[in-house]
């Protein structure tokens, strides 16, 4: 198995570490590949789009020709996980800020996002989040976090904070507004790996 982590910008090494720990825990082996250029995504069995700065990430994904490969990956039914900025990039529609700045989204999920849903003064926070695939709550770390404000019928909502959707799934795509790679709890990465193995 090969798992790719888009490595253009953002918290790449943290995702690689989390995947490595999760693989050891489940006694499974996979090659983890960091991706900066075109031609590697098609060889992967699963893909992570990490957090970072979604405007920069979006621009570079297109410039490097990776954006189209991610779309093909979705069409091939291979699992994709987007965290934070990854959740923004996978959305079909953005807020006024996204529209005003002509920010490019990949549009793989039937979702509308608010890029900075939790406001500036709450830049960063942690909360115990209930997720339907876990027995006990998950300590979720939110950093300048986005949220999904609206979603289509094919989207399954996994978690909400107030009215904001912070975890969701559509087919083979899983998105989280928080950073599972920043905690030692590998259960979210395990859930993603369950889809690959």
Rule CB under 6 A: which residues touch ligand GLN? 51-54, 84-85, 88, 115-116, 143-144, 146
Least distance to ligand GLN, CB of residue 90, Å: 12
- What is the rounded CA–CA span in Å between residue 101 and residue 103? 5
Least distance to ligand GLN, CB of residue 116, Å: 5
Nearer to ligand GLN, 19 or 117 (CB): 117
Judge contact between 185 and 138, C-beta under 8 A. yes
Residue 189 is among the residues annotated as catalytic for this protein: no
The residue count of the chain comes to 197
Q: Residue 82 — φ and ψ, nearest 5°?
A: -115, 125
Catalytic entry in 84, 104, 126, 189: 84
Judge contact between 36 and 63, C-beta under 8 A. no
Least distance to ligand GLN, CB of residue 51, Å: 3
Residue 84 is among the residues annotated as catalytic for this protein: yes
Residue 181 is among the residues annotated as catalytic for this protein: yes
Nearer to ligand GLN, 23 or 57 (CB): 57
| H-only helix segments in 43-181 | 54-63, 66-75, 85-90, 96-100
Q: Residue 3 — φ and ψ, nearest 5°?
A: -120, 125
Nearer to ligand GLN, 30 or 58 (CB): 58
What amino acid positions are annotated as catalytic residues?
Answer: 84, 179, 181
């Amino acid at each position: 198995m090969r798992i790719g982590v888009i490595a253009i910008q953002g918290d790449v090494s943290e995702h690689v570490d989390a995947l490595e720990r999760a693989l050891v825990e489940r006694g499974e082996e996979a090659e983890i590949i960091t991706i900066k250029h075109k031609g590697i995504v098609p060889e992967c069995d699963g893909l992570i789009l990490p957090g970072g700065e979604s405007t920069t990430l979006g621009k570079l994904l297109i410039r490097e020709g990776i954006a189209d490969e991610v779309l093909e990956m979705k069409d091939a039914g291979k699992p994709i996980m987007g965290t934070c900025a990854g959740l923004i990039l996978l959305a079909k529609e953005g807020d006024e800020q996204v529209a005003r700045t002509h920010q490019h989204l990949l549009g793989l999920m039937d979702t509308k996002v608010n890029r900075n849903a939790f406001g500036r003064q709450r830049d960063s926070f942690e909360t115990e989040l209930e997720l339907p695939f876990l027995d006990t709550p998950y300590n979720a770390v939110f950093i300048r976090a986005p949220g999904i404000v609206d979603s289509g019928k094919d989207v399954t909502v996994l978690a909400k904070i107030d009215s904001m959707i912070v975890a969701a799934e559509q087919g083979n795509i899983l998105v989280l507004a928080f950073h599972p790679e920043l905690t030692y709890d590998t259960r979210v990465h395990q859930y993603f790996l369950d889809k690959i193995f």
